[in-house]
Amino acid sequence: MGVSTRRFRWAVGLLLVGVMLLSACSGGGSQSGQTDSGSQTQQQTSTAPEPQQGGTQPQPQTPAAQEKVLVWGRGGDSVSLDPIQVTDGESFKVTHQIYEGLLDYAPGNTEVVPVLATEWEASEDGLEWTFKLRQGVKFHDGTPFNAEAVKINFDRWRDTSNPLHVGGDFPYYGYMFGGYDADSVIQDVQVVDEYTVKFVLKQVQASFLQDIAMVPFAIASPKALQENPEGLNTNPVGTGPFKFVSWTKGDRIVLEANPDYWGGKPAIDRLIYRSIPDNNARLVALQAGELDVMDGVEPAFLPTIQATGQFDIIERPPMNVGYLAFNTQVAPFDNVLIRRAINHAINKEELNTAFYGGMGIPAVSPLPPSVWGHNPNVPKYEYNPDRAKELLAQAGYGPDNPLKTQLWAMPVPRPYMPQPEQIGVALQNYLREVGIEAEIVTYEWGTYLEKTGMGEHTMALLGWTGDNGDPDNFLYVLLDKDNAVTPDAGNIAFYVNDQVHDLLIRARQTTDQAERTRLYEEAQVLIMEDAPWVPLMHTRVPIAVRKGITGYVPNPTGSESLGKVTLP
């Protein structure tokens, strides 16, 4: 059998004791570890605490006491501040405040709403989309926003010969629009007049509006791009409600209100994102008054936080999946018997109790139940260690020939996996029970993403928070062969199935939602038969918010603008 319930109860009890001890602490600064941003590893150091919102004695390099300051504590640092260069939620969380796209999503859901575009229409054949743009908007450097700015950004992303196509691989553009150059669904971006822009597509893309609204497709200042396109990684320039001030890697990112914001100056004068990877240290910082918002809240911490009477607990609507991906191009995980065996070896209900506080939804499919097209009637892998051993024996492994491999685990908590390293240990124990010896491997967060994107792993924990509410954003991005390409594979299982590919492409190219649903349901059956993943958990994500803060509505996509948030 797998990890015993008794051992899990012991571990949970020990965690709760630790939390009670933490709640007795009187506060003080938090000790942070190391984090990685991009390819350069930065050493984090202990820092003086930020003043409480409302103002205690100011520390060096902190804003004046009369300013309205919101300090957001999170588990990881950003990888880059150029949103088109990254795929991680920690980066998007910040860039969503600095940049804007043509469209965004309504508070709390994925309904498309106007932002830099005010209206739009499609041609009868669905191959042309025309957007009317908001007038009188300026970038943070004073450059006017217009149709030419939109064209410059999209041409930068889609055309690999464009001189501005530098500094990275623009992974999300490839994920969502089929590739670059001749492979791109977007064939041309035309300036109709100063405030009208037209997109010409080579084929219908059913999710086009949902895709355009995604955070990666935010519009950057043409002036900043032309002066130094790679500089946006560390010096972003957008049109959003907040302007960039500074980034101390591994520690904090500081933003300030944009006084000229077209939507009105934010009520928050200064917005600070602090990176505190250790969950316990982040809780201590919250209790000490150093943070106004804390995400990555372990469910076991909720009673302690609620007992203070100082915070509201707000849940982010669930639209995510945490998974264990097998590199299906690497032995022994090119053998479906081994992939199915490991699916049978893992007890998701125990994981939910031990690490998600019962707030998880054990996954049966890669697509969350909250997203239309989810198919609950797929091949299921019940927890059955004996069946796992049978399948391993069929694949040639047993007591006399144990399977030895690696299990990669993330170094930072994520919304879909609040305790990844501990979950990695639990999975290691489950695998040991069926005769698999798995060495746990981890790297700094940015390096982890780079290496999994390059396919250097054997099997790896990762996850995904949906960007736009469309099934395409899960199934095509994460499991289609088009995205099983280096260096930024979205499909880190490197799973290739031509029948699945055909279904997903057909679903992209029809606007009939009933037909799209049927195609996605069929694709999920095939995917689960091939078992490129163990889909582990969908989660309801708690966020601690200081009482008196109003206007904050978490979005299921994992990020939202804070331009309308007010402080006491």
Write the CATH number for 194.
3.90.76.10
Instruction: Give every CB contact of residue 43 below 8 A, 6+ residues apart in sequence.
Output: 34, 250
Same domain assignment for residues 108 and 191 = yes
Q: Is the Cβ–Cβ distance between 235 and 259 less than 8 Å?
A: no
Identity at 565, one-letter amino acid code: V
Picking from 200, 232, 264, the residue at the C-terminal end of a domain is 232
Residue 195 covered by a domain: yes
How many angstroms separate the CA atoms of 373 and 521, rounded?
Answer: 6
Residues 434 and 462 in one domain: yes
Contact 197, 131 (CB under 8 A): yes
Pair 174, 223 in one domain: yes
Helices 420-433, 348-355: axis angle to 10 degrees equals: 150
pLDDT score at 64:
52
Is the pLDDT at 60 greater than 50? The verdict is no
Residue 94: name the closest of 223, 271, 262, 219 by CA: 271
* 562 lies in some domain: no
**Is the C-alpha dihedral spanning 7, 11, 17, 20 positive or negative?**
negative
Specify whether the CB–CB gap between 378 and 343 falls below 8 A: no
For residue 59, give its domain range: 5-82+240-316+542-546
- State the pLDDT at residue 55: 33
The structural domain count of the chain equals 3
303 shares a domain with 331: no
Distance CA 299, CA 323 (A): 19
Q: In DSSP terms, which residues pair with 114 in a beta bridge?
A: 103
* Closest alpha carbon to 69 in 58, 55, 53, 85: 53
SS3 per-residue string spanning 52-80? CCCCCCCCCCCCCCCCCEEEEEECCCCCC
What are the Cα distances from residue 8, in Å, to 4, 106, 214, 303?
7, 40, 39, 20
Domain at 34, CATH number:
3.40.190.10
Is a pLDDT exceeding 70 seen at residue 164?
Answer: yes
| Rounded Cα gap, residues 498 and 505, in angstroms | 10
In this structure, the answer to whether residues 364 and 483 fall within a common structural domain is yes
Task: Identify whether 439 is part of a domain.
Answer: yes
The count of other CB atoms within 10 Å of the CB of residue 240 is 29
Q: What angle (nearest 5°) sits at the alpha carbon of residue 13, between those of residues 22 and 361?
A: 100
Alpha-carbon distances of 327 from 349, 407, 459, rounded to whole Å: 25, 11, 6
Phi, psi of 224, deg, nearest 5 = -65, -40
Output the pLDDT for position 223. Answer: 98
Rg (C-alpha) for the chain, rounded Å, is 23
Domain presence at residue 568: no
188 and 116 together in one domain: yes
Residue 156 inside a domain? The answer is yes
Q: How much is the pLDDT for 13?
A: 41
Question: Would you put residue 28 in left (φ > 0), alpha (ψ -120 to 50) or beta?
Answer: left
153 in the same domain as 286 = no
Structural tokens at position 13: 């009890």
Question: Which CATH number do you get for residue 456?
Answer: 3.10.105.10
Q: Tokens representing 364?
A: 């049966």
Give the residue-averaged pLDDT of 510-526: 97
Which tokens hold the place of 175? 């994920």
69 DSSP β-pair partners: 270
Same domain, 343 and 258: no
The closest of 408, 421, 450 to 168, measured between CA atoms, is: 450
Q: Give residue 43's pLDDT.
A: 32
Alpha-helical runs (H) found in 486-563: 498-508, 513-530
Length of the chain: 568
pLDDT of residue 424: 98
pTM: 0.83
Residue 327: what are its φ and ψ, rounded to 5°? -80, 95
Do 124 and 228 belong to one domain?
yes
Q: What is the DSSP string of 354-383?
A: HHSTT-EEE-SSSS-TTSTT--S-S-----
Q: Are residues 182 and 71 part of one domain? A: no
Range list of β-strands (E), 196-241? 196-201
Which residues make beta-bridge pairs with 460?
A: 325, 408
Given pLDDT bands bounded at 50, 70 and 90, which one contains residue 341? very high
φ/ψ of 227, rounded to 5, equals -75, -40
Q: What digits encode the pLDDT tens for the residues 65-91?
A: 589 999 999 999 999 999 999 999 999
Task: Answer yes or no: is pLDDT of 294 > 90.
Answer: yes
Do residues 370 and 318 lie in contact, with contact meaning Cβ atoms separated by under 8 Å?
Answer: yes
Model pLDDT, residue 116: 98
Average pLDDT of the chain to the nearest whole number: 90
- Per the domain annotation, does 267 fall within a domain? yes
SS (H, E, C) 259-322: CCCCCCCCCCCEEEEEECCCHHHHHHHHHCCCCCEECCCCHHHHHHHHHCCCEEEEEECCCEEE
Name residue 246's amino acid: S
Q: Distance between CA 202 and CA 212 in Å, rounded?
A: 16
pLDDT band at 15 (very low <50, low <70, confident <90, very high): very low
Give me the phi and psi of 349, to 5 degrees please. Answer: -65, -40
Q: Please name the residues in contact with 4: beta carbons below 8 A apart, sequence gap of 6 or more.
A: none
- Where is average pLDDT lowest: 27-36, 179-188, 418-427, 448-457? 27-36
Q: For residue 152, which phi and psi values (nearest 5 degrees)?
A: -60, -45
Closest-CA residue to 346 (of 417, 405, 433, 412)? 433
Residue 168: predicted pLDDT = 85
Condensed to tens digits (0 to 9), the pLDDT of residues 203-250 reads: 999 999 999 999 999 999 999 999 999 999 999 999 999 999 999 999
CA 162 to chain centre: 28
What 8-state DSSP symbol labels residue 538?
A: E
Strand 69-74 versus strand 117-122 pairing type: unpaired
> How does DSSP classify residue 229?
G
- Give the Cα separation of 147 and 135 in Å (integer): 10
Identify whether residues 328 and 308 lie together within a single domain. Answer: no
Average pLDDT over residues 467-486: 97
Whether 92 is in a domain gets the answer no
Provide the sign of the torsion angle of the four alpha carbons 20, 24, 26, 32, taken in this order. Answer: negative
Do 518 and 402 lie in a common domain? yes
**Domain end (from 196, 214, 232):** 232
Determine the Cα–Cα distance for residues 11 and 20; give it in Å rounded to an integer: 14
Distance CA 1, CA 344 (A): 11
Q: Which residue among 181, 207, 232 closes a domain?
A: 232
Task: Tell me, yes or no, whether 442 lies in a domain.
Answer: yes
The Cα–Cα gap between 9 and 354 comes to 7
Q: Of 107, 90, 79, 102, which Cα lies nearest the Cα of 239?
A: 102
